[in-house]
């Protein structure tokens, strides 16, 4: 015990010497924590992202806003009676992009969706009808694949109530009809031949990316004085150099609030504590801030003071 502590102590001392030595050469200075307002909401209450934002209640499921999901089933569900599904309805359901994004996002499924741009995240199921999978297994795999594969990346369609049991029955009936490789209308539809997309647009060109207009507005906001008499420039004279890599460090864990802060909430709380401005999240002013960081290059480099 003592020996371990002693070793630790001398390591710490060596580290301290290193830090002292590099600091003298203008290496990244030790950062003070940015002032932030802890109290109060950073967003309007009630909070809405867009007018008419989904009326579905996802609170019982994992999402960016909530960490909740029905626990993985321990046992497959036993079907009380044989599946009597309609393959034609199943064919429609698997390609329905309004229902959880559709199976075709990940699977090729023969004729489903006319094999229009299916994905290849999951196995090609075009011949699953020959695979000897029984109805109950297929039903359970779709209802909640975690019962057979705890590491699955396929969503639990039944447990998340995207499809009800009757609908899963139709899907099973459809899958059993799949016995031939999919025919693709062109190379683009075939995930094995589809070329990787190439981006040729210039995302910094305001005519291509209207979001860039927001950068100009952000620069005005940067120099506008808030109720405390200070503007962002009062403390950050050279934001393009000083905050060069900030965007790439976001979001971050903020111990003072015990949560993760994104760009928007950071700027809201930081402005409140410094310039006194109130840029509530999801309002006119706030979307501009992320854009200003977008035009700063990403290498971390602070002006040494
Ligand atoms: C009263 C001084 C002051 C004012 C005014 C001020 N800041 Fe800051 N800001 C700081 C301090 C101190 C830090 C902590 C990091 C540091 O020491 O540079 C910081 C950090 C930041 C960071 C994070 C940098 C990082 O790498 O973590 C950003 C982004 C930022 N400020 C943006 C703004 C914006 C936008 C405004 C105007 C709304 C603003 N600041 C106004 C003092 C100020
Ligand atoms: C996010 C991607 C994704 C989506 C969307 C998806 N799957 Fe899957 N699926 C997978 C992956 C990956 C596998 C391979 C094993 C695993 O990870 O569970 C799989 C496996 C399967 C299997 C088992 C195949 C076998 O015989 O081993 C079936 C059946 C299946 N999926 C049906 C569906 C159906 C029906 C839908 C739509 C309701 C769907 N999948 C949507 C990713 C997905």
Task: Give yes or no for a contact between 285 and 279, defined as CB atoms under 8 angstroms apart.
Answer: yes
Cβ–ligand 1 distance for 296 under 6 Å, the answer no
With a cut of 80, say whether residue 21 has pLDDT above it: no
What is the chain's alpha carbon radius of gyration, rounded to the nearest angstrom?
Answer: 27
Predicted confidence at residue 158, as pLDDT, reads 93
With a cut of 90, say whether residue 94 has pLDDT above it: yes
Closest C-alpha to ligand 2, atom 41: 103
Q: Who contacts 167 (Cβ-Cβ below 8 Å, separation ≥6)? A: 89, 93
Task: Give yes or no for a contact between 84 and 152, defined as CB atoms under 8 angstroms apart.
Answer: no
With a cut of 90, say whether residue 19 has pLDDT above it: no
**Environment class of residue 177 by beta-carbon count within 10 Å: exposed (0-12), middle (13-18) or buried (19+)?**
middle
Which residue, 127, 128, 117, 131, is CA-closest to 187? 117
- Separation of CA 269 and ligand 1 centre (Å): 11
Question: Which residues sit with their C-beta closer than 6 Å to ligand 2?
Answer: 94, 101, 103, 105-107, 121-123, 125, 128, 131, 133, 138, 141-142, 145, 149, 152-154, 157, 171, 175
Segment 279-301, tens digit of pLDDT: 887 776 665 555 455 444 332 23
Closest ligand, as measured to the CA of 102: 2
With a cut of 60, say whether residue 3 has pLDDT above it: no
Closest C-alpha to ligand 2, atom 23: 141
Mean pLDDT of 13-40: 59
Predicted confidence at residue 28, as pLDDT, reads 47
Q: What is the mean pLDDT of the chain?
A: 81
User: Which backbone phi and psi does 7 adopt, to 5 degrees?
Assistant: -60, -45
With a cut of 90, say whether residue 173 has pLDDT above it: yes
* HSE (side-chain half, CA atoms, 13 Å) at 127: 5
How would residue 4 be classed by pLDDT, with cut points 50, 70 and 90?
very low
Q: Report d(CA 174, CA 24) in Å as an integer.
A: 70
End-to-end C-alpha distance for the chain, whole angstroms: 42
Mean pLDDT of 266-280: 91
Q: Who contacts 77 (Cβ-Cβ below 8 Å, separation ≥6)? A: 136, 139, 140, 143
Q: Who contacts 36 (Cβ-Cβ below 8 Å, separation ≥6)? A: 254, 256, 257, 266, 269, 270, 272, 273
Mean pLDDT of 168-181: 98
**Residue 106, preceding peptide bond in cis (omega within 30° of 0):** no
Closest ligand, as measured to the CA of 97: 2
Of the listed ranges 111-115, 237-241, 265-269, the one predicted with least confidence: 237-241
Mean pLDDT of 137-151: 96
Closest ligand, as measured to the CA of 300: 1
- Ligand 1, residue 267: give the atom nearest the CA: 35
**Residue 215, preceding peptide bond in cis (omega within 30° of 0):** no
Predicted confidence at residue 289, as pLDDT, reads 52
How would residue 65 be classed by pLDDT, with cut points 50, 70 and 90?
low
User: Which backbone phi and psi does 79 adopt, to 5 degrees?
Assistant: -85, 130
Mean pLDDT of 161-176: 96
Count of helix runs (H) and strand runs (E) in the chain: 9, 2
Task: Give yes or no for a contact between 251 and 243, defined as CB atoms under 8 angstroms apart.
Answer: no
> For residue 72, what is the enclosing H or E element?
none
Task: Give yes or no for a contact between 19 and 13, defined as CB atoms under 8 angstroms apart.
Answer: no
Q: Angle at the Cα of 59 (from 55 to 61), degrees rounded to 5?
A: 115
- Ligand 1, residue 271: give the atom nearest the CA: 38
**For the chain, what percent of residues have pLDDT higher than 90?**
47
Cβ–ligand 1 distance for 250 under 6 Å, the answer no
Mean pLDDT of 167-193: 97
Residue 274 structure tokens: 């410094």
Segment 195-229, tens digit of pLDDT: 988 989 888 888 887 777 777 777 788 888 999 99
- Range among 6-20, 38-52, 119-133, 148-162 with highest mean pLDDT value: 119-133
Q: Report d(CA 257, CA 32) in Å as an integer.
A: 16
Q: Domains in the chain and their CATH numbers?
A: 62-194 (1.10.760.10), 202-305 (1.10.760.10)
- Ligand 1, residue 246: give the atom nearest the CA: 26
**For the chain, what percent of residues have pLDDT higher than 70?**
78
- Separation of CA 122 and ligand 2 centre (Å): 6
Closest C-alpha to ligand 1, atom 27: 246
Q: Report d(CA 188, CA 117) in Å as an integer.
A: 7
Q: Report d(CA 87, CA 79) in Å as an integer.
A: 18
Closest ligand, as measured to the CA of 132: 2
Higher pLDDT, 294 or 120: 120
Of the listed ranges 35-49, 234-248, 290-304, the one predicted with least confidence: 290-304
Of the listed ranges 126-130, 208-212, 236-240, the one predicted with least confidence: 208-212
């Amino acid at each position: 015990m003592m020996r371990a502590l002693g070793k630790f102590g001398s390591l710490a001392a060596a580290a301290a010497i290193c830090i002292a030595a590099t600091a003298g050469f203008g290496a990244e200075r030790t950062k003070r924590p940015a002032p932030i307002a802890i109290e109060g909401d950073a967003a309007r209450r009630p909070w809405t992202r867009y007018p008419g934002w989904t009326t579905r209640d996802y609170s019982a499921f994992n999402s960016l806003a909530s960490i909740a999901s029905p626990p993985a089933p321990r046992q497959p569900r036993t079907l009380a009676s044989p599946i009597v599904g309609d393959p034609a309805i199943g064919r429609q359901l698997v390609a329905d992009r309004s229902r959880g994004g559709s199976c075709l996002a990940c699977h090729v499924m023969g004729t489903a969706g006319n094999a229009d741009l299916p994905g290849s995240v999951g196995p090609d199921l075009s011949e699953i009808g020959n695979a000897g999978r029984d109805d109950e297994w297929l039903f359970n795999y779709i209802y909640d694949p975690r019962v057979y594969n705890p590491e699955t990346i396929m969503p639990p369609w039944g447990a998340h109530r995207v499809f009800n049991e009757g609908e899963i029955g139709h899907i099973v009936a459809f899958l059993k009809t799949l016995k031939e490789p999919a025919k693709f209308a062109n190379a683009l539809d075939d995930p094995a031949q589809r070329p990787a997309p190439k981006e040729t647009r210039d995302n910094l060109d305001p005519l291509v990316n209207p979001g860039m207009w927001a950068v100009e507005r952000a620069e005005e906001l940067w120099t506008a004085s808030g109720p405390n008499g200070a503007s962002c420039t009062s403390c950050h004279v050279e934001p393009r150099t000083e905050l060069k890599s900030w965007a790439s460090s976001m979001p971050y864990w903020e111990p003072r609030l015990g949560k993760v802060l994104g760009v928007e909430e950071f700027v809201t709380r930081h402005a409140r504590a410094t310039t006194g401005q109130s840029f509530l999240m999801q309002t006119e002013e706030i979307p501009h801030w992320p854009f200003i960081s977008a035009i700063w290059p990403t290498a971390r480099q602070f002006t040494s003071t």
